[in-house]
Amino acid sequence: MLMFSSDSSDKEDELLLVIAIEEEQAAAARRSHQRGSMPGHAVIDRHHREGAARLYNDYFTDNPVYGDVLFRRRFRMTRRLFLRIAAAVEEHDTWFWQGRDATGKLGLSLLQKMTAVIWQLAYGVSSDAVDEYVRIGASTAMLALRKFVQAIVEVFGDEYLRAPNEADTARLLAEGERCGFPGMLGSIDFMHWVWKNCPKVWHGAYTGHTRKPSIVLEAVASYELWIWHAFFGMPVSLNDINVLHRSNLFTRLTDGTAPTVSYSINGNRYDMGYYLGDGIYPEWATIVKAIPAPRGNKSIHFSAMRASVRKDVERAFGVLQARFAIVRGPARVWDQSTLHNIMTACVIMHNMIIEDERGSASTVQVFDYMGEPSKVHRNADEGVLHYVEATQAIRIRAMHRQLRDDLS
């Protein structure tokens, strides 16, 4: 214990010495808890191996604690599909391999990384919300999310986010005719995804009537809620018409690679399929809108039937948001590329879940992937001429009205 002398200068020196000793002790205590390469960053021993063992015993053993029903509810997909995706992602990106650090300590397992990602997508939680159970840090969970959605798009995008081939088109046309709409290929609409962390410089472009920055997803869905077309990334300041002009929905029609469509209504022959859209869409030959202010039983019945069938795309949006809450709540990611991959990956997995579970419904058709359609080879002049003619044919207003009158 320090003793103070009666001299005031000595007291001041001793007081400064005590303060210096206390500050050094406090700094030493901080250093003892730091143990990291970054100042103020504490290294946490999360016991990865114990977390991996608990996760495996809870969900992935032959006799798990939580069975198939709870797995499907919590992971939004069956265990069979989860393991298929995990194997494909692990083969595509070596980051998902389980390795060892510089000290030889075993790192996170594939199942831990996958579970952290799926729960972020399914529940829309922050990246550190899964730490307590999965035993994965926030930065690692966010990195896993970015790498996972990119892998899903690259591995499964061509198969599960493809345009309809010949066989697909035939089935869609058959279903449309069964519903009373021969020539229908699906329903078209778009949804908003609020962008919470939109950079200030982009607020004006991404803000519309909702007064919040948002990004638009344009989609086409069929009766079984399969999403055949997804065009994502346009600012919400653009409406349905502007987004339609920028999307690639009718690209195959204009370049001549679309499957052949031929049907007859009331003696009139048509060679282009159509989509059911709401009132804001233009009067094109490939979009059937409602009759404004319908009069008479015939027009009223047609409007009611068209509205009931067009609900397919609305239902698809609802199921997509229910399965993956991350696209229902505000987006917290800063960059557009990651947002695009997240939305696209959710749409792809939505279609994969439909395919995986379609065996429980005998009425659902099977859509087989047969690769991309063959290209039509034309010289430059023929290609330009066909593009101009096809674009003009798509936008004939008289054909739109004739088609709507024949359907009604």
Spatial distance between the Cα atoms of 73 and 71, rounded to a whole number of angstroms = 5
Q: Is 276 helix (H, G, I), strand (E, B) or coil?
A: strand
Spatial distance between the Cα atoms of 195 and 334, rounded to a whole number of angstroms = 9
Q: Which residue carries 């009766």 as its tokens? A: 223
Q: What is the pLDDT of residues 194-237, one digit of tens each?
A: 998 888 888 888 887 767 888 989 999 999 999 999 999 888 66
Spatial distance between the Cα atoms of 220 and 189, rounded to a whole number of angstroms = 7
Amino acid making up residue 28 = A
The residues spanned by each domain of the chain are 48-158, 161-407
Please provide residue 149's backbone torsions phi and psi, each rounded to the nearest 5 degrees. Answer: -65, -35
Radius of gyration of the chain (CA): 29
Query: Of residues 381 and 251, which shows the higher confidence score?
Result: 251
DSSP code for 249? T
Whether residue 365 is predicted with pLDDT greater than 50 in this model: the reply is no
Task: Encode 129-149: b = buried (16+ Cβ within 10 Å), e = exposed.
Answer: bbbeebbbbeebbbbbbbbbb
Which segment of 26-40, 42-56, 192-206 scores lowest on mean pLDDT?
26-40
Q: Is 191 helix (H, G, I), strand (E, B) or coil?
A: strand
Q: H or E element: which one contains 228?
A: strand 227-235
Mean pLDDT throughout 123-138? Answer: 91
Spatial distance between the Cα atoms of 92 and 142, rounded to a whole number of angstroms = 18
* pLDDT for the residue numbered 376: 47
Query: Of residues 345 and 397, which shows the higher confidence score?
Result: 345
Amino acid making up residue 90 = E
Spatial distance between the Cα atoms of 396 and 402, rounded to a whole number of angstroms = 10
